[in-house]
Structure 1
């Protein structure tokens, strides 16, 4: 075979550094929107929830993503909606 030619393969993982048992995870929403993560099978199953903490000059911002498995080895982490806590009404005396 000519060294300048590449051999074609049906194996979609060939040359990508991923194995057949690895997981492909997509993040939807929030600061990680559109990020794709390949989780190696040696790390175990994907976590059911991922927490992303953003630190900057102001208060820290926390986002939580919940896993929605689609098929074997493929899942989507959806941004969890923020928890709304009722504001305390200061006009009412205790």
Structure 2
């Protein structure tokens, strides 16, 4: 059983049959709507032998021009 926490998939539960193998370490969800596409990434945290929780990955911080010049 897999639980999603945060973002558009918050609260979704997925029952995964063993024949599908281990769940992926990261799941990407792409939301298409009238505007630009929105991408969310979820990282797996294993909880016991038969359960896991996918947590929404925080958005990447974009470097400002000043940050790039300081490096």
TM over 0.5: yes
Residue in structure 2 matching 1:42, options 14, 19, 23: 19
From the CA coordinates, give the structure whose radius of gyration is larger. 1
Instruction: Count residues with an aligned counterpart.
Output: 66
The answer to whether structure 1 residue 73 and structure 2 residue 50 are counterparts is yes
Question: 1:86 Cα shift?
Answer: 1.3
Q: Which runs of 5+ in 1 are unaligned?
A: 1-23, 90-94
Q: Which runs of 5+ in 2 are unaligned?
A: 67-71
Corresponding residue of 1:32 = 9
Query: How far apart, CA to CA, are the structure 1 residues paired with 2:27 and 2:35?
Result: 22
Query: How far apart, CA to CA, are the structure 1 residues paired with 2:30 and 2:64?
Result: 24
Question: 1:87 Cα shift?
Answer: 3.0
Off by >6 Å, runs of 4+ in structure 1: none
